[in-house]
Amino acid sequence: MNRARPDRPLGTVIGLAAAWAAFFWLVAQQELWGATMRRLFPQVSTPIYERNTLWELTWQHLGLTATAMGLVIVIGVGLGLWATRRQGREFLPLVNNLTTVGQTFPPIAVLFLALPLVGFGGTGAIAALTLYALLPVTRSTVLGLQAVEAPQLDAAQGLGLSPLQQLWRLEVPVALPAILSGIRTALVLTIATATLAPMVGTGGLGVPIIAGLGADNLALILQGAIPVALLALLGELSMRTLERWLTPWRPTAE
């Protein structure tokens, strides 16, 4: 049996806020991480990354992810909207091909391909992350807008709605679940892929992972991998909660 989702799931929001608070508390406990890693890996001489605190690395990672996702949403949704309008419809195959290019190559290849254009550092990492995450957002926007049926469009035109009114009152609400789903996929993808950003000269939670791989140090690898996994999980849950808030009309299985 299907029923509409309850409006404003306050309990879910409170639980999610508590989970985020617990995450930030955890990454702020540098001494706790050091003591735990020394106990788990007593044979390791450097059980914790010492050049930056885990708190600093986490915020660097969040900064990279937030900047890249902002660009992905603006460019991806914008491309999807334009490619489904009359003036851009003939370019739809080209848009699909261009956004697919980013995921044709492995993430590390995308990072290094961006270097000749933007150089080392944060700019190169953000450009590569943006290119790599464009596909799910653009494609979900296109598919969501194309899901609007012809009788619905005819009815909107019959009511005298202008093309802009038709877009915002009919097409965007119908496409919104698909768009949000694409953004959720891109967010998790970006959080994970950002661990490779230190290889082009920037920071983030990938720093201890790469340092640990180079030194065969599992303690350092875990110091970056555990927060990244938790961050991806929290990002996924946050987006699902946002989807329920923004699309309360969608049915859910009981």
Q: What is the pLDDT of residues 114-144, one digit of tens each?
A: 666 666 677 888 888 888 888 899 999 998 8
Residue 240 lies in a domain: yes
On whether residue 212 sits in a domain, the answer given is yes
The pLDDT assigned to 254 comes to 39
Cβ-proximal residues to 77 (8 Å cutoff; 6+ apart), any chain: 137, 138, 141, 179
- The answer as to whether 48 is a domain residue is no
**Residue 190 in domain:** yes
pLDDT at 119: 66
Tell me, what DSSP letter sits at residue 194?
G
Alpha carbon distance 187, 191 (integer Å)? 6
Domain-embedded: residue 59: yes
The domain tally of the chain equals 1
pLDDT (0 to 100) of residue 170? 84
- Per the CB < 8 A criterion, the answer to whether 209 and 195 are in contact is yes
CA-closest candidate to residue 175, choices 84, 237, 70: 84
Residue 2's DSSP bridge partners are: 253
List the domain range (segments joined by +) for residue 242: 55-246
How much is the pLDDT for 1?
Answer: 42
- Cα gap 47→37, rounded to integer Å: 6
CA 208/CA 197 separation, integer angstroms: 12
pLDDT at 4: 47
pLDDT at 190: 95
For the chain, the distance separating the N- and C-terminal CA atoms, rounded to the nearest angstrom, is: 6
On whether residue 232 sits in a domain, the answer given is: yes
Structural domain includes residue 151:
yes
Q: What CATH number is attached to the domain comprising 71?
A: 1.10.3720.10
Q: Which residues partner with 252 through β-bridges?
A: 3
Q: Rounded to whole angstroms, how far apart are CA atoms 199 and 55?
A: 20
Walking along the chain (254 residues) 10 residues at a time, the average pLDDT comes out as 53 91 96 93 89 95 96 94 85 79 68 68 84 89 85 76 80 90 95 89 92 92 96 96 84 48
> Is residue 38 in some structural domain?
no
